[in-house]
Amino acid sequence: MITRQHAVRLHIGTTGPGLFYNRQLSSAKRLWLRVGGQYIAYRQPIRVNVSSESYITVDPDFMIGLAQAGLMWQPFRRGSFYLAGGLGYTWHPHLGAVVTTDKKLNLGGLELLPEDVGTVSLAVRWRPVVGYFGFGFGRPVPRRRWGVGVELGAFYLGRPRVDLAYEGFLETTNLSEQVPVVERNLSNYRYLPSLNFTLTYRLP
């Protein structure tokens, strides 16, 4: 009976910290199952000065949460190089921001009350199911108890969609007509690069 080796792996990188489980699939120890996820978020309000006496508040909605499942394949029997691929699901497939102000704005002599400025909400959305491909160095299950490595890859997000909502003085403009133009300009931004440093613990 073949004893399947397995390990847990910590990822620290551009798509946030994550935890994965690696398990041997082939008797040659070259094909491995990988399941896990990563998470990172930033939602602290940002104050942007527009003059010496006025400012706007930007409330970012930045969050990357990914549950992933895929395979790791070592093309060479010896060595730590591997290829990785799979699918991911993100329960928050958008990045956005809400812009408001609670004080009168002075824009080059033009004064706007908070109710005139209103609220501007902008979001860029992708589909929730994403693909992933990457490569790295570091054995899926280390020979000793601990192992370190690095992995570089990219998620395929699909074509982005722009959602824009606003009230106040912007309602008198044709800003919404520019959304299709912005979407066309963003149409090539379909990939999210990912760089991770890994720490792997071999399970008994």
Give the N- to C-terminal CA distance of the chain in Å, as an integer: 17
| pLDDT of 111 | 79
| pLDDT of 2 | 58
Within a domain: 85: yes
Domain range holding 186?
6-202
Indicate whether 1 pLDDT > 60. Answer: no
Indicate whether 13 pLDDT > 70. Answer: yes
Within a domain: 189: yes
Within a domain: 1: no
Query: Please, what's the b/e burial string for 94-103 (b: 16 or more CB within 10 A of its CB; e: otherwise)?
Result: bbbebbbbee
| pLDDT of 75 | 93
- Residues 199, 77: Cα–Cα separation, whole Å: 21
Structure confidence by residue, pLDDT tens digits, 111-121: 778 887 788 88
Structure confidence by residue, pLDDT tens digits, 79-125: 899 999 999 999 887 889 998 888 887 777 777 788 877 888 889 99
Give how many domains the chain has, as a whole number: 1
Within a domain: 109: yes
Domain of 68: which CATH number? 2.40.160.170
| pLDDT of 165 | 85
52 vs 38, residue with greater confidence: 38
- Residues 115, 98: Cα–Cα separation, whole Å: 15
Strands (E), 101-145: 105-107, 110-112, 120-125, 129-137
| pLDDT of 27 | 80
Burial of residue 126, with CB atoms counted within 10 A of its CB: 0-12 exposed, 13-18 middle, 19 or more buried: buried
Within a domain: 195: yes
| pLDDT of 56 | 86
Within a domain: 63: yes
Structure confidence by residue, pLDDT tens digits, 54-72: 888 899 998 889 999 999 9
Within a domain: 96: yes
Average pLDDT over residues 12-18: 95
pTM: 0.83
| pLDDT of 77 | 83
Q: Which residue has the tokens 């006025």?
A: 54
| pLDDT of 190 | 92
156 vs 170, residue with greater confidence: 156
Q: Which two tokens stand for residue 72?
A: 């790791």
| pLDDT of 15 | 92
